[in-house]
Amino acid sequence: MITGTDPIFSVASSLAWKASFPSTQLVHWCFDLYPDALFAEGLFQKHSVTGRSLNALTHFILNKQDLLANLGPCMAKRLVTHAPETDQMELTPWALVEPESIPRPDPKIRSELFGNAQFGLLYSGSFGRAHSFEDILALARKLRHESMGFCFAVRGNRVDQLKAALVPEDTNIRFAGFASESELETRLAAADIHVASLNPEWTGCVVPSKFFGSLAIGRPVLFAGLTEASLSNWVTKHEIGWTLSPNTSESVAQTLIAFARNPTAQTAMKERCFQTYKSHFSKSSNLDRLDVRLRKMLPNSTN
């Protein structure tokens, strides 16, 4: 029996099933880690009565599972604190759109997103409490005179805060509406670089799924967050982007300026991103790993 985390704590239903069918193997695919995400959002304090009760409940449920599927190294570490003896495997999200080749940008869509900018950075997707914008805006301001445009095609409960943080001089920052599924590939392909972010306290609780959509169309990722985060780890390991922080803002700005002026480097980066996605993060690669792992859990398995 495989359970996810939508709705919250739906994994508890697996225990009722196990009680009725004791031979059932339980697998929990942890899309978002609770109660850790509730603590990160500030809804409950970890050491409050409610927080301790939620942690105890989570420990109990996860220790009854036979396998936990995490979204990356940081979530794996958090899961160990809840269920140190339960087996784990990495099972990342995959992109909604998986083209067979690297798509070329549509000039019309590109112009709608970035105006006359020669180089475009796109933040596309949800923008809520788990996400940040301060370092991204600081970078955009450093690149204001380099014909490098930033576009936020986002929705969520922090969009108003983002818009309120802009000043009249932010002429290279634009906004766009959300794209429908049928328009998504064209929208994502219009950018040269995709941007993702994660607030430090959310590290290991969630993984921004936009990361995988970016790689699937062969675009590198600029990640604003901790260097310890899974996205930063993957970006560095596979050489498919950059990690942005207050300490790296100036060096990243200079790196992006050089990258924008080097078409050969851009082509090589696109191919590396595309192949990395195919090998490590695609739907087929994830399901193949899951299939192998689940078969090993079957009674009398010889695999």
Angstrom distance (rounded) from CA 63 to CA 103: 44
Q: Spell out the residues 6+ positions from residue 121 whose beta carbon is closer than 8 angstroms to its own.
A: 140, 148, 149, 150, 151, 191, 192, 193, 194, 195, 222
Instruction: Report the pLDDT value the prediction gives residue 302, as an integer from 0 to 100.
Output: 58
Beta-ladder partners of 188: none
Q: What is the pTM of this model?
A: 0.93
Dihedral of the alpha carbons of 80, 85, 89, 93, in degrees to the nearest 10: -40
Angstrom distance (rounded) from CA 94 to CA 59: 28
Q: Which residue from 143, 135, 214, 213 is spatially nearest to 173, judged by alpha carbons? A: 143
What the chain holds in terms of domains, given with CATH numbers, is: 2-93+282-297 (no CATH), 107-280 (3.40.50.2000)
Q: Which amino acid is at 252?
A: V
Each residue of 13-37: pLDDT tens digit?
999 999 999 999 999 999 999 999 9
Each residue of 204-247: pLDDT tens digit?
999 999 999 999 999 999 999 999 999 999 999 999 999 999 99
The structure tokens listed for 110 are 């590109």
Helix (H) or strand (E) segment spanning residue 233: helix 230-238
Q: Which residue from 1, 230, 229, 212 is spatially nearest to 221, judged by alpha carbons? A: 212
What is Dmax (Cα atoms) for the chain?
68
